[in-house]
Amino acid sequence: MKKTVTVDEWVALFRETGLDDAQMKRWHRAFEKHHPDAHETFLGWLGLPSERIARIREESR
């Protein structure tokens, strides 16, 4: 069993549950608003580089 999930796998899970791009952006905004440190940790867990994490977090504020 893998201990990590790729970004593509995570997005596929979101899509499977019916989320579109706008809904995923709202999810990121809510995550950043309510749990900013955990949001950063989660994005790192997905294996994103620090530059992309910073961009996602900035866009989510």
What global pTM score does this model have? 0.86
Domain extent listing, the chain: 7-59
Q: How many whole angstroms from its chain centre is CA 45?
A: 10
What residues contact residue 46 under an 8 Å CB cut-off, 6+ apart? 4, 5, 6, 7, 10
Cβ contact 60:28 at 8 Å: yes
pLDDT at 21: 95
Give me the pLDDT at residue 1, please. Answer: 61
Mean pLDDT by 10 residues, the chain (61 residues): 85 96 96 97 94 96 93
